[in-house]
Amino acid sequence: MARSRISLKDWCAKDSRLKAEFLKKESENPKGLVVITSHQGYLPNLNIYPHFQSGNADIGRLSNGLSIHVTQTCYEKLKAKFRTFKKNDKDKNKVKKQYYLDHKTANFLSKFKEENHFDREEIVIEYLVRKNQSQELQFEHLKKIDQSTIRVQNLKNELADYKNLCAQAENDKLHLQIRINELDDLLARAYALNDFFKETLQEHKIDFHHPLIDDETAKKYKFEIRNNLRTYLE
């Protein structure tokens, strides 16, 4: 079945950026198929290809705003030459390689090409390589996620430790406050007893004086207070 004819207008609309580049290079080539004018855009290069003037002309417009006005003969040549230009542009970053494969690998590539409707076996190789690269990227991504998960868990553990330390500090603070309250209570009772003894001595007209308390004596009483604090309060 013959391929349906595409109009010049529709031809310009497809791969428009690449076709604008193709026509620009053609017009810059002295032996190119077209020339460019300031008013009419691209026209057939009649100086090199005088036979392009025969036939009906058609008009198209490129994405860069330039128009193209060529005959059917010139248009057919442009289409054929653009296909080569497009293929070369597609393959410009490719490197030609030649490999010797064992029968099993060669048969696998051939079967894979037929089953997946690839045009050439080199496309099959590129597909498999890119698939492998994608899997490696996914593996690296998952690895980073795992590492992030481990780090998050470590941070959670550290946070839990800090919370425990804060709870312990709060508990120590509570015990310290209780002890301070007990010491305040004991000191108040000691003052009350001191006043009681002082009034009793004064009532019985007994002379007394405050004894000098050295550090050793003070240390001894501190020890007794610490050991008997709760028992005394009970």
Q: Do the beta carbons of residue 78 and residue 49 sit within 8 Å?
A: no
In a domain, 28, yes or no: yes
* Residues of the domain holding 53: 8-92
Q: How far is Cα 69 from Cα 94, in angstroms, rounded to an integer?
A: 34
In a domain, 220, yes or no: no
pLDDT recorded at residue 210: 67
In a domain, 53, yes or no: yes
Query: Tens of pLDDT along 44-55?
Result: 999 999 999 887
In a domain, 50, yes or no: yes
Q: How confident is the model at residue 230 (pLDDT cuts 50, 70, 90)?
A: low
At residue 232, does pLDDT exceed 50? Answer: no
Query: Tens of pLDDT along 158-202?
Result: 888 888 888 888 888 888 788 778 777 777 887 787 778 778 877
pLDDT recorded at residue 56: 85
pLDDT recorded at residue 229: 61
pLDDT recorded at residue 191: 76
In a domain, 161, yes or no: no
Q: How confident is the model at residue 233 (pLDDT cuts 50, 70, 90)?
A: very low
The number of C-alpha atoms within 13 Å of 136 and in the hemisphere containing its C-beta is: 6
Q: Do the beta carbons of residue 55 and residue 73 sit within 8 Å?
A: yes
Q: How confident is the model at residue 2 (pLDDT cuts 50, 70, 90)?
A: very low
Comparison of pLDDT for 202 and 58, the residue scoring more: 58
At residue 80, does pLDDT exceed 70? Answer: yes
Query: Tens of pLDDT along 146-156?
Result: 888 888 888 88
Query: Tens of pLDDT along 13-30?
Result: 999 999 999 999 999 999
What single string gives the DSSP state of each residue in the chain? -PPPPPPHHHHHHTTHHHHHHHHHHHHHSTTSSEEEETTTEEEE-TTT-GGGGSS-EEEEE-TTS-EEEEEHHHHHHHHHHHHHHHHHHHHTT---------HHHHHHHHHHHHHTT-S-HHHHHHHHHHHHHHHHHHHHHHHHHHHHHHHHHHHHHHHHHHHHHHHHHHHHHHHHHHHHHHHHHHHHHHHHHHHHHHHHHHHTT----PPP--HHHHHHHHHHHHHHHHHHH-
In a domain, 159, yes or no: no
pLDDT recorded at residue 1: 44
pLDDT recorded at residue 70: 94
Query: Tens of pLDDT along 30-42?
Result: 999 999 998 889 9
How does the average pLDDT of the chain come out, rounded? 84
In a domain, 26, yes or no: yes
- The total domain count for the chain is 1
In a domain, 41, yes or no: yes
Is the whole model's pTM more than 0.85, yes or no? no
